[in-house]
Amino acid sequence: MSWYGFIQKYFGLFFGLGILIGLIFSSVFDGYKNLVLPLLGTVMLFTFLSIDIRQALSNLKRFHNIAAVFIITKVILPILLYHLAKPLGTDISIAVFMLCITPFASISPTLTTLLEGDTEFILLNQILMTLLAPFYMPILIMLVLGAEIQLNPVQMFKILTFLIFVPFGLSLIIRPLLKSAVLKTKKYFGAVNILLIMAVICILLATAAGSILENPLHTLPQLGLSYLLGLILILSGLFIPFFLDRKKRIGLSVSVLYMNVGLTAVVASGFFSPEVLLFILIYEIPVNTLPTLMRSAAERFRKRD
């Protein structure tokens, strides 16, 4: 097995290591907060380079299904879970809402492939949600959270633009200029992205390590709630879009779970309280362990069949 194949197959191991390293060596990684934005931007660049955007969008079929998935996963579900989490406190409910409105992560198509879901469908959703994020995220936050927070939508738009449109624009320039090199090396992009995300996990967990390790009894309930949120999202992706076939719903189950948490954490760190950020960072733990369990469960079911 190639090194990049090993990394992609055992992605959960690397994400788990990222969590442990970030917590244990927090003093080392805590000083690299400024690298989170460039690292996430690089992940987005490799993601856009690995796919032919024009071809992917030209294959867009049944747009009403894409629109329905967006409305369900990025509008209805976030608002519903936000109100359900209200009794748990304002910070928790805001964190849940922020996590849910985030676009699917760049690794979602890879995870979908590993679970034998509809990768093309998830890829289309991920591309469209990512490109629309600078517009729909500030609007939804203002409409739903406007009474509880003070938001500068222009500043949020600038951050999201840097993380999304800059890598997207660079990919449109680099891909045709270095098409041969991109085609030869894109098989490595998935593994490189996993390692980059692992580095982001280390830095983000280091940010919250003090609160987690100094007062574990305080964070344990939040960890339990984050796992509950993850399970709810998995089940929502599997069963709410009942009009989709099984492979599409398998992809959605992992995609609504594994959202772009790094992007959410960057936004939260600039616009919300430390308590909101803490819950988002704690969510890194279930979001990076549950996909591995899902894959193991899927393999067992396939063996039975």
CA distance 120 to 109: 8
Provide the pLDDT for residue 303: 52
Q: What is the pLDDT of residues 135-152, one digit of tens each?
A: 999 999 988 887 677 777
**Phi, then psi, of 146 in degrees rounded to 5:** -55, -35
Work out the end-to-end distance of the chain between its first and last CA atoms, rounded to an integer number of angstroms: 26
pLDDT confidence band for 227 (50 / 70 / 90) = very high
pLDDT confidence band for 197 (50 / 70 / 90) = confident
CA distance 161 to 131: 9
Structure token digits, residue 279: 């819950």
Q: Tell me if 285 sits within 8 A of 56, measured CB to CB.
A: no
Q: Tell me if 124 sits within 8 A of 60, measured CB to CB.
A: yes
Q: What is the pLDDT of residues 91-105, one digit of tens each?
A: 999 999 999 999 998
DSSP code for 259: B
**Most confident stretch, 19-23, 184-188, 217-221, 276-280:** 184-188
More confident residue, 151 or 260: 260
pTM of the model: 0.82
